């Protein structure tokens, strides 16, 4: 298992290719990327799972509507677990506990979410499609 990370794409270059350079399709790669919307790109580089934040779950939400605002690079994947790309890379977006832009959270009910992803469950198989 390998843990790779990239810079915040809003402030620097998020070099996904450089972060996974030298790793093969048989390797289980966990990518730490603050920006969840990078998942569409990282899923093309053999990443097994991506862990992200940034969205704050929308921070201000309306019942039956959802978030009123999400930050740049957190527009598509706002919170929770997703399967992204052709190989269905696991993406987990944590809503966090802080705030962005506005110092308030409204209709925000998530207390704490500490899930373990099944990205690298199969130790016997080297096939990514069998692992996910």
pLDDT of 42 strictly over 90: yes
**Which is more confidently placed, 20 or 61?**
20
State pLDDT tens for residues 56-95: 666 777 888 877 777 787 779 988 899 999 989 999 988 7
- Is it the case that residue 115 has pLDDT exceeding 50? no
pTM: 0.75
pLDDT tens per residue, range 93-114: 887 766 666 666 666 655 454 4
As a whole number of angstroms, the distance between CA 67 and CA 89 comes to 25
Q: Report residue 69 as tokens.
A: 């605002």
User: By C-alpha distance, which of 80, 117, 37, 83 is closest to 16?
Assistant: 37
Nearest to 32 by CA among 123, 130, 119: 119
Q: Is pLDDT at 120 greater than 70 in this prediction?
A: no
Residue from 52, 72, 74, 58 nearest 107 by CA: 58
């Amino acid at each position: 298992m390998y843990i790779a990370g990239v810079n915040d794409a809003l402030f620097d270059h998020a070099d996904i290719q450089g972060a996974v350079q030298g790793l093969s399709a048989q390797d289980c790669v966990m990518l730490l990327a603050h920006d969840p919307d990078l998942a569409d790109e990282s899923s093309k580089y053999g990443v097994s799972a991506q862990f992200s934040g940034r969205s704050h779950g929308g921070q201000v939400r309306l019942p039956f509507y959802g978030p009123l605002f999400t930050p740049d690079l957190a527009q598509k994947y706002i919170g929770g677990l997703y399967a992204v790309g052709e190989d269905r890379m696991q993406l987990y977006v944590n809503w966090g506990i802080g705030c962005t832009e506005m110092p308030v959270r409204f209709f925000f009910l998530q207390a704490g979410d500490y899930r373990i992803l099944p990205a690298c469950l199969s130790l016997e198989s080297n096939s990514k499609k069998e692992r996910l």
